[in-house]
Copies of this chain bind each other. A is one copy, B any other.
Amino acid sequence: MLQGNAIIGQSGGPTSVINASLCGVIQTCLKHPEAIEKIYGMRYGIEGFMEELLIDLGAQRPDIVEALKTTPSSALGSCRHKMQEQDFAPVLELLKKHNIRYYFLIGGNDTMDTIHRIEAYCRKEGYDLIGVGIPKTVDNDLFATDHTPGFGSAARYVALSVMQAGMLARDMKRVDQFVVFQTVGRSAGWLPAAAACAKKNEDDAPHIILVPERPFEKERFLAEVKAAHQKYGWVSIVCGEGVCYADGTPISATTTNDRFGNKEFGAMGGTSAAISLHQMISKEFGWRGEFQVVESLQMCAADRAVPSDIEEAWACGARAVELAVSSVSGVMVTIERQSSAPYAWSLGTAPLKDVALGEKPMPDEFICEDRYYVTEACLEYLRPLIGELPTYARFEL
Contact = CB atoms under 8 A, between A and B. Distances in A.
Contacts of A79: 174-175
Contacts of A300: 164-165, 167-168
B390 A303 contact: yes
Interface string A133-166: 0000000000000000000000000001100110
Given A75-B395, A249-B259, A392-B70, A296 B301 contact: no
B254 A55 contact: no
Contacts of A165: 295-297, 300
Copies in the complex: 2
B267 A263 contact: no
B259 A263 contact: no
A72 interface: yes
A89 interface: no
Given A179-B296, A293-B292, A160 B303 contact: yes
A238 to B, nearest CB: 13
A64 interface: yes
B44 A174 contact: yes
Nearest to A41: B395
Contacts of A19: 393
Contact of A292 (B14, B276, B295): B295
B302 A14 contact: no
B268 A275 contact: yes
A74 interface: yes
A257 interface: yes
B302 A295 contact: no
A357 interface: no
A98 interface: no
A259 B265 CA distance: 11
B291 A267 contact: no
Contact of A396 (B64, B174, B304): B64
A122 interface: no
Interface string A264-305: 100111010001101110110000101111111101111110
B257 A263 contact: yes
Interface in A47-94: 47, 55, 57, 60-61, 64-65, 67-68, 70-80
17 contacts: A13-B172, A60-B395, A61-B396, A64-B394, A67-B391, A73-B392, A74-B171, A75-B393, A76-B171, A77-B171, A77-B172, A78-B171, A164-B302, A256-B256, A269-B288, A291-B293, A293-B293
Leading 3 A-B pairs by shortest Cβ distance: A67-B393, A73-B167, A71-B392
Interface of A: 10, 13-14, 19, 41, 44, 47, 55, 57, 60-61, 64-65, 67-68, 70-80, 160-161, 164-165, 167-176, 179, 249, 251, 253-259, 261, 263-264, 267-269, 271, 275-276, 278-280, 282-283, 288, 290-297, 299-304, 390-397
Given A77-B171, A254-B256, 17 more contacts: A14-B171, A41-B395, A60-B396, A64-B393, A72-B167, A75-B171, A77-B174, A78-B174, A160-B303, A164-B301, A255-B257, A257-B263, A267-B279, A268-B275, A292-B293, A292-B294, A302-B392
